[in-house]
Copies of this chain bind each other. A is one copy, B any other.
Amino acid sequence: MTAPPRSVAGSPADSRPGAAAPSLPSVTATTGSSLAVQVMAAVRRAITAGEMEPGRLYSVQQLASAMDVSRSPVREGLLRLGEAGLIRFHRNRGFEIVEVSPTDVAEILAVRTALEVPAARRAARLAQPEELGRVRAQWEALHGAARAGDLEAAAEADAGLHRLLLLLAGNSQAVQLVERLRTTTSFLGVVAAPSRRPVGELAREHDALVRAVLARDEAAAAGAMREHLAATAQRLVAQALRAQRAPEERVDELTAQVWDAAAAGY
C-alpha cells in the first residue's frame, strides 16, 4: 500500500562501523501505520528482547539497514524516543539506550499517584451511570484475562481501566500524560513478573478500587488507588533493581527505601 517493496541494498554481512554492534534489532513485522511508529515499536521490542543494550552506541544508518527501510522514518522515530528520554544522542557518534533507573521508576509512579488518586476521587463523584457500566465491563475483562492467565491481555485491561478512570475524572491532559509515563515504564519489560502469582493478585488489587467507584465512595476510591499504585510501584522498582544486578537479598529493602523516598508527600 504505502511502501513499495524497494530492492534496497541492505547490509551484506559486514556491519563494520567502528563501535557499532552486530545486533539485529528486528525488522518491521507489524503493519500498523507510519514507518516511524513501527520503528519505535521495533526498537522497544529489541530492548526488551535484549538485542539492544544501554552500553553500546547505535546509529540511524545501522538500524535503517537492519530494518530494511530508509533513514528518514528511522531518524524520525528515534527522535521521538529521544524526546521521551528513552534514548540519548551523542552528536556525530550515535545514540545510546538510556537505562531506566529504579529511581526514575519510583518518580514516575509518584507522579502517577499525584494524578490518579485525585482522578479516582473525581471519577467516583462525577461518573454517569452508563460510564460506571463501562468501568464494570473493563474490570470484568481484566478478571477474564487473569483467569485465562493471559498476562498481556491483563496488562492491557489494567491500562484500559486506569485510562477510563482518568477519563471519567474529566481531565484529558492527565490521560495523555499518564499514557506517556506508562510507555516509559513499559520499556522495562513488557510484563511485570514472569509467572509468580501476579495475574490473580493484579486483578484482585483492582477489586476494592472498582467497588469504591461503583459505590461512589470517593474516599475509598482514592485510598484504593493509592494502595494499588504503591503495590505496582514496588513491583516495578524491584524489577528495575534486578535489571541493574542488585543483590537479590537486598532487593526488598532497597525497593522500600527507593519508593518511600520518592513517594513521601504525594
Instruction: Determine the interface band of chain A, counting residues with CB < 8 A from chain B.
Output: 20 to 34
Could you jot down 20 A-B contacts, CB within 8 Å?
A: A76-B76, A76-B79, A79-B80, A104-B172, A104-B173, A107-B171, A107-B172, A111-B173, A111-B174, A111-B177, A114-B114, A114-B118, A118-B265, A118-B266, A121-B265, A122-B264, A125-B265, A169-B265, A171-B262, A177-B177
A83 at the binding interface (Cβ < 8 Å): yes
A160: CB under 8 A from chain B? no
Is the CB of A47 closer than 8 A to any CB of chain B?
no
List which A97-114 residues lie within 8 A (CB) of chain B: 104, 107-108, 110-111, 114
A85 on the interface (CB 8 Å rule)? Answer: yes
Nearest-CB residue, chain B, relative to A76: B79
Q: How many copies does the complex hold?
A: 2
Please tell me if A148 contacts chain B, counting CB pairs below 8 Å: no
Is A181 positioned at the interface, with any CB of B under 8 Å from its CB? yes
Interface residues of A in 73-90 (CB under 8 A from B): 76, 79-80, 83, 85
Question: Are B114 and A115 in contact, CB atoms less than 8 angstroms apart?
Answer: yes
Residue among A107, A173, A262 facing the most chain B CB atoms (10 A cut-off): A173
Counting chain B CB atoms within 10 Å of each CB, which of A76, A261, A262, A266 scores highest? Answer: A266
B-side contacts of A79, CB under 8 Å: 76, 79-80
17 more A-B contacts (CB under 8 A) besides A79-B79, A115-B115, A122-B265? A76-B79, A79-B80, A80-B83, A83-B83, A107-B170, A107-B172, A107-B173, A107-B174, A110-B171, A110-B173, A110-B174, A114-B115, A114-B118, A118-B265, A121-B265, A170-B261, A170-B262
Set of chain B residues within 8 Å of A266, measured between Cβ atoms: 118
